[in-house]
Amino acid sequence: MKLLLVVACVIISTLSFGQTKVYNPKADAKADITQAVAKAKKEGKHVFMKVGGNWCPWCILFHKYSQDNITVHKTLSDNYVEVLVSARENKELLKSFGNPGRFGYPVFVILDQNGKVIHIQDSGLLESGKGYDESKVNRFLLNWTPAATK
């Protein structure tokens, strides 16, 4: 029985340390957003807020997907300044952005160059099967670029 308990503890700790950490729960989200807005204004882009957490498998999946998918990554880097916001630690701050967590996580908030919310996207609508659908994700991103919203 003790051996089984030790093995279980080793497996659990190995899995815990092996988890991907994307969201920084200690980050100053307000400052990060302010910096992203200033950079977006300077570069003629919008801000793409990824709201979620390390406890959310779909949040980690989208982050990796948006880095690895060449088409989506290019659309993001050409048109947006990205900022990650840890949802649990920033509930009060997120109220000022339309309470996006009502759609579940991850949720995406598009801000214009002045920091105004212009769209909140339920990420579930961008899924297909057990992952994200490139055409849905890219179409969503292209529909909210500065050029598209002028």
What's this model's pTM, rounded to 2 decimal places?
Answer: 0.87
How many Cβ atoms are within 10 Å of 12's Cβ, its own excluded?
10
d(CA 52, CA 143) in angstroms, rounded, equals: 22
d(CA 27, CA 37) in angstroms, rounded, equals: 16
Which CATH code for domain 21-149? 3.40.30.10
pLDDT in tens, the chain (150 residues): 544 443 344 344 434 444 679 999 999 999 999 999 999 999 999 999 999 999 999 999 999 999 999 999 999 999 999 999 999 999 999 999 999 999 999 999 999 999 999 999 999 999 999 999 999 999 999 999 999 999
